[in-house]
Amino acid sequence: MKFAERVRRVAPSAIRDLLRHGADPEIISFGGGYPDPALFPMAELRGIYAELLAGDPVVLQYCPSDGLPALRAQVATRLRRDGIDRTADDVLIIQGAQQGLDLAAKLVLDPGDAVVTENPTFLGALIAFNPFEPVYAPVRTDADGMDTDDLERVLAATPRARLLYTVPDFQNPTGVTMSLPRRRRLIELADEYDLLVVEDTPYRALRYDGAHLPTLKSLDAGGRVVHLGSFSKILAPGMRLGWAVADGEVLEKLALLKLAADTQSSTLNMAATSSYLDRYDIDAHIATMCRSYRDKRDLLLTTLRETFPETVEYTTPDGGLFTWLTFPASFDTTAFMRDVALPDARVAYVPGATFFPTTPEHNHARLNFSGLTEERITQGVIRLSKYLPR
């Protein structure tokens, strides 16, 4: 049977393989992007689901494809604090931010169009974009996020650039945050080159140090930013809820693509999330998560400093779930994981090569700190450090 050209680009995914490793309790995995299940508001949600399922059966019925109106309004209200002054009508409820990547790609990409990304970038985004057969135009990324001087050069050299994908806050995989001057410059360049900007903000609320920077959407006078967010990291990923905010025809087309893709998100989970936002203080809940994750980040970085060779560099993220390790240029983290880390140290991470859209660098690793206990963070780093060449 002949598959469409686009499916040739769907390669077996490192993320899926790692989800499998994550299931082996013997292995300490820094691999996932998992929130800490001990922080899920189980009791609150238990009460909410019980009450919903004692009430109107409409919670199990179909509902409008754009999402429950109450939840759309609550998301809009929360976004006003991020400088995004919109109403319920401008919010589309989606299946986690991941679905927003699929819908945005479907919206603008013809085969051969270029997607501009940070270098490295989120693997799940590459997986979402690949079926639409883009080429990639990666942009140099440093401690201040995507380098907009390099972006300008890349755009000048990439006439088919159509979509710019960025995680401005605590980027996946590097943990870095885009500076305000670069945010402003990015929007100017997007206007100049007529790009659709996909601003992916799953970690934005998880800031441990410093003050929030303006969202790209809040700087977007041209209506070209699709702002994606998610309840996965601030409430629970297993409910599969996120949102997309966009303007005018972009939002309207995304909404139709959402309907086409899966009719709607779960009515019951939307009703439960709406009820949670109504009754509980999610900001207090987020503050609790931030305290816990900040401690884990500090523990991870401290243990790395104390046990790893000085030749290994790592980022110091102000929030989010990840730090990014850079080993000496000759060190291959994929081979080391296969040959040493998994079989001997019994530790997993994500080798950095998969996060590079075009030219893999082999001497990086992404470490998650949110999904592990403090004990396992310490143990995992110590175990790994013992096998590192000195």
Considering only residues 77 to 136 of the shown chain, the ones binding a second copy according to CB under 8 A are 94-96, 98-99, 102, 106-110, 113, 124, 127-128, 130-132
With respect to a second copy, which residue has the nearer C-beta, 110 or 298?
110
Q: Which tokens is 245 given? A: 């905010």
Tell which one of 26, 62, 284, 329 touches a second copy (CB under 8 A).
62
Sign of the Cα pseudo-torsion (385, 316, 311, 358, in order): positive
Closest CA to 226 of 135, 356, 125: 125
Q: How far is 315 from 287, CA to CA, in rounded Å?
A: 23
Q: How far is 309 from 22, CA to CA, in rounded Å?
A: 26
Tell which one of 64, 309, 328, 389 touches a second copy (CB under 8 A).
64
Tell which one of 205, 239, 304, 337 touches a second copy (CB under 8 A).
239
CB of 163 to a second copy, least distance (A): 10
Q: How far is 191 from 221, CA to CA, in rounded Å?
A: 9
Displacement of CA 373 from its chain's centroid (Å): 21
CB of 196 to a second copy, least distance (A): 6
CB of 4 to a second copy, least distance (A): 5
Contact status: 329 vs a second copy (CB under 8 A): no
Sign of the Cα pseudo-torsion (20, 22, 28, 30, in order): positive
Contact status: 37 vs a second copy (CB under 8 A): yes
CB of 110 to a second copy, least distance (A): 5
Per-residue binding string, a second copy, 247-286, x by CB under 8 A, is --xx--x--xx-xxxxxxxxxxx-----------------
- ∠ CA 55-281-243, nearest 5°, is 75
The 10 Å CB-count burial string (b at 16+, else e) for 99-136 is: bbbbbbbbbbbeeebbbbbbbbbbbbbbbbbbbbbbeb
Q: Within a 13 Å sphere around the CA of 271, how many CA atoms are in the beta-carbon half?
A: 20
Contact status: 325 vs a second copy (CB under 8 A): no
Tell which one of 50, 156, 180, 335 touches a second copy (CB under 8 A).
50
- ∠ CA 8-14-18, nearest 5°, is 150
CB of 133 to a second copy, least distance (A): 10
With respect to a second copy, which residue has the nearer C-beta, 198 or 384?
198
Contact status: 19 vs a second copy (CB under 8 A): yes
With respect to a second copy, which residue has the nearer C-beta, 127 or 154?
127
Tell which one of 21, 27, 49, 374 touches a second copy (CB under 8 A).
49
Instruction: Report the DSSP beta bridge partners of residue 378.
Output: none
Residues in region 177-216 near a second copy by CB under 8 A:
194, 196
With respect to a second copy, which residue has the nearer C-beta, 105 or 381?
105
Q: Which tokens is 260 given? A: 């086409």
With respect to a second copy, which residue has the nearer C-beta, 197 or 384?
197
145: phi then psi, degrees, rounded to nearest 5: 85, -160
CB of 33 to a second copy, least distance (A): 8
Tell which one of 14, 15, 73, 135 touches a second copy (CB under 8 A).
15
